[in-house]
Structure 1
Amino acid sequence: MANYGVAEAKNNFTHLLDRVEEGERVVITRHGKPVAEIRPIAPERPLPTEAERRAAFERLRKMRESLPPATQTSVELLREMYDDKPW
């Protein structure tokens, strides 16, 4: 990890980006104290495939089916919650 003062970082910004592209982290300091860090961006996660999406939906469906049926509607639940509030 390299440390650069603000003025030095400003004058060598392109060089610092080259170092970051190579995987290095660069710390920018002001009066000797770290104030910022430039680091490589984490690689983006690939989108799930069609098969992965189908499998995830199937897991959710099975989980939903394993839950007991609701005993009250959402409206009833909200009314009960609001009725219990000491406004």
Structure 2
Amino acid sequence: MSTYTVAQARDNLSKILAAAERGEPVSITRRGKIVADVVAREPARPFRIDVEALKRRRVLPKTGPTDTVAALEAMRSERPW
């Protein structure tokens, strides 16, 4: 485990982060007492999209008019306002 003072940590932040990424914990001290430990977080799990599951859940439009005007008239006749 590496130890840095606050001043050293300020000057060597990229070096400290690189060590943490390699799995080496780093302590930061103030007046001889440890005030912080820098450790790497668990890597984020990659997000995967199940395309086949999405295709199975897909809702297809009802068959009907493809003309926009006719489609609007059909919608209005189903639900008059």
Structure-2 residue corresponding to 1:4: 4
The ranges of structure 1 where at least 4 consecutive aligned residues each deviate by more than 4 angstroms after the TM superposition are: 44-47
The CA deviation at 1:46 is: 7.6
Aligned length: 50
SS at match of 1:37: strand
SS at match of 1:8: helix
Cα root mean square deviation, aligned: 1.9
After superposition, give the CA deviation of every residue in 1:53-78 in whole Å (9 maximum; x if it has no partner): xxxxxxxxxxxxxxxxxxxxxxxxxx
SS at match of 1:27: strand
The CA deviation at 1:43 is: 3.7
Separation (CA, whole Å) in 2 of partners of 1:46 and 1:29: 35
Larger helix fraction of residues: 1
After superposition, give the CA deviation of every residue in 1:24-65 in whole Å (9 maximum; x if it has no partner): 000000011000010011244688xxxxxxxxxxxxxxxxxx
Separation (CA, whole Å) in 1 of partners of 2:13 and 2:45: 28
* Residues 20-35 of structure 1 aligned to structure 2 (within 5 Å): 20-35=20-35
Structure 2: which 5+ residue stretches go unaligned?
Answer: 48-81
Q: TM-score, normalised by structure 1?
A: 0.49
Q: Which is higher, the Rg of structure 1 or of structure 2?
A: 2
Separation (CA, whole Å) in 1 of partners of 2:16 and 2:46: 28
Structure-1 residue corresponding to 2:36: 36
Structure 1: which 5+ residue stretches go unaligned?
Answer: 48-87
Q: TM-score, normalised by structure 2?
A: 0.52
Identical aligned residues as a percent: 45
Separation (CA, whole Å) in 1 of partners of 2:28 and 2:13: 11
